[in-house]
Amino acid sequence: MCTSTEVSACSHLANGWHSIDWETCHRRVRGLQVRIAKAAKNQQWRRVSSLQRMLVRSFSAKAIAVKRVTENRGRKTPGVDGQTWSTPSCKWEAIGLLERRGYKPRPLKRVYIPKSNGKRRPLGIPTMLDRAMQALYLLALEPVSETTADRNSYGFRPHRSTADAIEQLFVNLGRRNSATWVLEGDIKGCFDNISHDWLVANVPLDRAVVRKWLKAGYMESGLLNPTEAGTPQGGIISPVLANLALDGLEEVLETHFGKKNTKASYKTKVNYVRYADDFVITGISKELLEEEVLPLVEAFMAERGLELSTEKTVVTHIEDGFDFLGQNIRKYGDKLLIKPSHDNLRSFLKKVRDVVKGNKTVPAWMLVDMLNPIIRGWANYHRHVVAKETFNYVDYRIWKLLWQWCKRRHLNRRKRWVREKYFKRAGKRSWVFSDVYPGGKIAALLYANDTTIQRHTKIRAEANPYDPSDEQYFEKRMDYAWKISEYGRRRVHQLWIRQFKRCPMCNQHITFETGWNTHHVHERHKGGSNKLENLVLLHPNCHRQLHATKMPQYMVQNGRKIPIC
């Protein structure tokens, strides 16, 4: 249920959600973000604050914030007030609610999700209004966090991934004369213990609003519980706040042991890689890491109200290997090999086994639909490392599970009959688990071993998505990602290139994060075809807006205006 309010649109032509000019909104917000990043780079903090205030008060930023929280995965999950913004009128009215004056966040709704080790991780779910306010202020904070971030921090940052962190470790440890000792850091309850006083004093954002979020408390079993420390996992802005708290350790290490590729750094070989709250520090000896590096890290964490776990923070020789982000990194003689870790492999096979054993009576095509996304996601995650042998082993284990699943369904049938019913020949393979959909199409199980092993190209450490000088660099990386991805299928990639990689409605880039819909210029029920000439890639919200307004829209191709509706 929506709170009734009126949205002032004196300075904006929009009079409803579907009449918002998203291209103008994105352009205005982007322009302010670039100015904020430039001011932060020059350490003009008063100018940063002024520009941030300008951004969070703008209609464009408020509209984009509401759009983000009503289109992400959690859009249907309400907070303690039970409200969701699911209709265009609710979204339009919500824009007018995003005001700093009189704003008081509601307590978080506490829920728990299972962890891989059997424990449960607490999540705090804000209300839709609080989520939108966090998304609004995140637009103003992220340009600063990206400008001041550690170069080798890869978690919860745009255009960075776990593959970048793993590749950086390969750079640090892969040479013959690289560091041979590794400090694996584990922060005890990072998100739950960050000092509120430190965050309020050091996060370059409106301090009153940050303090309100941190002190909002949470509801559990009908009781209000106060929050004295930590940033609640589940809030949109929480990962960036945690990153800001942990940024600076790389600079501390460089101050004491020298920057990379300097004479001082060659003596100690201290290098740092972090993904979220997991980090790895390399060094030339065990004594260096334990007696010099570890005290520096502990002092840095203590200042922020954090401490390292004594059980999980260990110093390891590279020939013994260590696990990081689901990969095992180990040197065999002079050769560094990165493979899927045993724990990661075990949890993946358990997930597959639970799906197979939990669906003993479903049709085979339905089981294929359940397993394929799991296999595809796991194989794509590990496709940048030495995983071919592991892929073969995974395919063998899945085959054994499916063979037992088939035999159980047909206890009185011969093995030859079972094989002919469920396992077909496809290409060079003769034992492909497959079935026929009700519509007649073939459903075939994916093989992990069919995933191509391809070395990941690491992002440049200093690249900043809010720096105009890096714009071309990020466009080249996006183009490359489309070409090597399963999403870069020939048809979609051709459409993407034809549209200059942008949505013709809002003129913003189409990326994996934004998603896309394929729109038919001439609707199929009116005789439109699936030919490329009749297809256009649009953002999901732009697609809905196009169908809601039914106004004529155009895209420019080779200097000609081509209608898209």
Contact by Cβ (8 Å): 304, 194? yes
Residues 37 and 121 in one domain: yes
**The pLDDT value given to residue 347:** 94
CB-count exposure of residue 341 (10 Å: 0-12, 13-18, 19+): buried
**The pLDDT value given to residue 12:** 52
Does 353 map to a domain? yes
Residues 141 and 175 in one domain: no
Question: Considering 338, 362, 388, which residue would you say is the last residue of a domain?
Answer: 338
Indicate whether 559 pLDDT > 70. Answer: no
Residue type, 429: R
Residues 215 and 100 in one domain: yes
What are the residues whose beta carbons fall under 8 Å from the beta carbon of 553, sequence distance 6 or more? 504, 505, 546, 563, 564, 565
Per-residue pLDDT of 43-77, as tens digits, reads 999 999 999 999 999 999 999 999 999 998 888 99
User: What total of structural domains would you count in the chain?
Assistant: 4
Does 497 map to a domain? yes
- Give the residue among 315, 346, 342 at the shortest CA–CA distance from 328: 342
Q: Which of 252-256, 403-407, 514-518 has the lowest mean pLDDT?
A: 514-518
The 10 Å Cβ neighbour count of residue 158 is 12
**The pLDDT value given to residue 297:** 96
Residues 189 and 44 in one domain: no
Q: Which two tokens stand for residue 284?
A: 């030339």
Per-residue pLDDT of 221-269, as tens digits, reads 889 989 888 887 888 999 999 999 999 999 999 999 988 777 767 789 9
Residues 157 and 213 in one domain: no
Residue type, 467: D
Residues 445 and 546 in one domain: no
Question: Considering 450, 471, 498, which residue would you say is the last residue of a domain?
Answer: 450
CA dihedral 524, 527, 530, 536 (to 10 degrees): -60
Q: How many residues does the chain have?
A: 565
**The pLDDT value given to residue 5:** 43
Distance CA 518, CA 535 (A): 6
435 strand-pairing partners: 443
How would residue 514 be classed by pLDDT, with cut points 50, 70 and 90?
confident
CB-count exposure of residue 507 (10 Å: 0-12, 13-18, 19+): middle
Question: Considering 338, 372, 392, which residue would you say is the last residue of a domain?
Answer: 338
The 10 Å Cβ neighbour count of residue 409 is 14
Residues 181 and 117 in one domain: no
Does 305 map to a domain? yes
Indicate whether 42 pLDDT > 80. Answer: yes
- Give the residue among 87, 202, 96 at the shortest CA–CA distance from 144: 202
Q: Is 265 helix (H, G, I), strand (E, B) or coil?
A: helix
Q: What is the CATH number of the domain that holds 317?
A: 3.30.70.270
Does 66 map to a domain? yes
**The pLDDT value given to residue 265:** 73
Q: What is the CA radius of gyration of the chain?
A: 26
Residues 157 and 264 in one domain: yes
Own/partner contacts of 420-429, CB < 8 Å, gap of 24 or more, are 422/364
Does 475 map to a domain? no
Does 456 map to a domain? no
**The pLDDT value given to residue 474:** 87
Q: pTM for the complete prediction?
A: 0.86
Residues 182 and 275 in one domain: yes
Does 445 map to a domain? yes
Contact by Cβ (8 Å): 546, 564? yes
Tell me which residue range forms the domain holding 310.
Answer: 149-194+229-338
Distance CA 477, CA 481 (A): 6
The 10 Å Cβ neighbour count of residue 132 is 25
Residues 214 and 233 in one domain: no
How would residue 9 be classed by pLDDT, with cut points 50, 70 and 90?
very low
Residues 215 and 255 in one domain: no
How would residue 7 be classed by pLDDT, with cut points 50, 70 and 90?
very low
Does 460 map to a domain? no
Residues 240 and 378 in one domain: no
**The pLDDT value given to residue 555:** 57
Instruction: For residues 352-372, give the mean pLDDT.
Output: 95
Relative to beta strand 108-114, strand 218-220 is: parallel
pLDDT above 90 covers a percentage of the chain that reads 64
Q: Mean pLDDT of all residues in the chain?
A: 89
